[in-house]
Amino acid sequence: MVTEIKGQLTAGKGNYAIVVSRFNEFITSKLLGGAVDCLERHGADEKQITVVWVPGACEITLVAKKLSQSEKYAAVICLGAVIRGQTNHYDYVCQQVTRGIGQLNYDASVPVTFGVLTCDTLEQAVERAGTKMGNSGANAALTAIEMVNVIDQI
Ligand code: INI
C-alpha cells in the first residue's frame, strides 16, 4: 500500500504572515485582499493573520526571513508587483526578489510562498490582481495553506 500525503485546504490553527510591498500599491492591495479573503474562506480567523507592509519587492525577502525564523507563523506569504519600465531596473528587481524568496525556500523551516507578479505591462498585472487571470495573492495564500498541511504530515 502506497503512503500518500496530500495537503488539505483548511487553514487550521496556525498563524499566517503576509509580507506585501507598497510599490505599485494599486495592484498589491488587490493581491492582499485576495490573500486575506482566501485565508478567511478556508477557515482562518482574522487573529491568525498578520500583514507587514514593506517599501518595494526588494525589501520582501528580509522581512519574510525574519517572519519565517520567528517561530510564530506556520507560513509566510509574499506579495508584490514588479512591472517593467523603460530601463532594465525591472530585471534587477525581479532577480533580487526571486532569488531571495527562492533561497528562503531552501533555508526556512516553514513554507514561504511567492505571490510576486513580474509583468511586462500594467494590464498584465491588473489581469492577475483579481480580474481575467484570477488573483495571484489568493493563489499564494491557498498554496501556503496546502503546504502547511503537507508539512504537518511529514
Ligand atoms: N519595486 C517593486 O515592488 N516593483 C517595481 O516594479 C519596482 N520597480 O520597477 O522599480 C520596484 N522598485 C523598488 C525596489 O523594490 C526597492 O524598493 C528600491 O530599489 C529600494 O531598495
CA–CA gap between residue 129 and residue 133 (Å, rounded):
8
Among residues 56, 64, 69, the alpha carbon closest in space to that of 28 is found at: 56
CA distances from 86 to 91, 94, 110 (A): 11, 15, 37
Report which protein residue has its CA nearest ligand 1's atom 4: 82
Mean pLDDT by 10 residues, the chain (154 residues): 96 97 98 98 98 98 98 98 94 97 94 98 98 97 98 96
For residue 108, the model assigns a pLDDT of: 87
CA of 118 to the centre of ligand 1 (A): 11
* pTM for the full predicted model: 0.98
Which listed residue (22, 41, 66, 89) is catalytic?
89
Q: Which grid coordinates are listed for 103?
A: 533561497
CA of 27 to the centre of ligand 1 (A): 14
Among residues 68, 76, 74, 78, the alpha carbon closest in space to that of 115 is found at: 78
Active site residue 89: yes
CA of 98 to the centre of ligand 1 (A): 13
Give the tens place of pLDDT for each residue, 112-122.
Answer: 999 999 999 99
